């Protein structure tokens, strides 16, 4: 059994992610093996008062970086873009970060 905090690693706090907060779209870094239904269930356990409409995921392969003759890779990351329904409350953690228009 997977715990919800093992599936949801951390929120992604970038300019693009901040723009989506006003539209109730949130971005999280998730475990590489997590499925969309596992992500949805984990978020509903962590934030019980939200209603999730859809979950989109993407995986980014780490870039190859070199330092002299040595080369290595940045870590691979999986992100989940979570869209809440219109009648859902927002996530309280992000409330002060959204720019009101």
* The pair of three-digit structure tokens given for residue 77, joined into one six-digit string: 């990351």
Residue 43 lies in a domain: yes
93 part of a folded domain: no
Decide if 95 is inside a domain: no
Rg (CA), the chain: 16
Q: Bigger pLDDT: 59 or 88?
A: 59
Strand 70-73 relative to strand 52-60, pairing: unpaired
Residue 42 within any structural domain of the chain: yes
pLDDT band, residue 99 (cuts 50/70/90): low
pLDDT of residue 2: 78
> Does residue 77 fall inside a structural domain?
yes
Give 82's pLDDT tier (boundaries 50, 70, 90).
very high
pLDDT in tens, 38-70: 999 999 999 998 999 999 999 999 999 999 999
For residue 96, is it within any domain? no
The encoded tokens of residue 1 equal 């059994």
Helix (H, G, I), strand (E, B) or coil at 49: coil
Range of the domain at 50: 4-87
Q: Could you tell me the CATH number of the domain that includes residue 36?
A: 3.30.70.330
Number of structural domains in the chain: 1
């Amino acid at each position: 059994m997977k715990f919800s905090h093992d599936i949801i690693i951390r929120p992604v706090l970038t300019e693009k992610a901040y723009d989506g907060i006003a539209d109730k779209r949130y971005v999280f870094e998730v475990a590489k093996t997590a499925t969309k239904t596992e992500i949805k269930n984990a978020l509903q356990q962590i934030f019980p008062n939200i209603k999730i409409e859809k979950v989109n995921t993407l995986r980014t392969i780490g870039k190859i970086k070199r330092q002299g003759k040595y080369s290595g890779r940045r870590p691979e990351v999986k992100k989940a873009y979570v869209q809440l329904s219109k009648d859902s409350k927002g996530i309280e953690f992000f409330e002060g970060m959204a720019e009101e228009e």
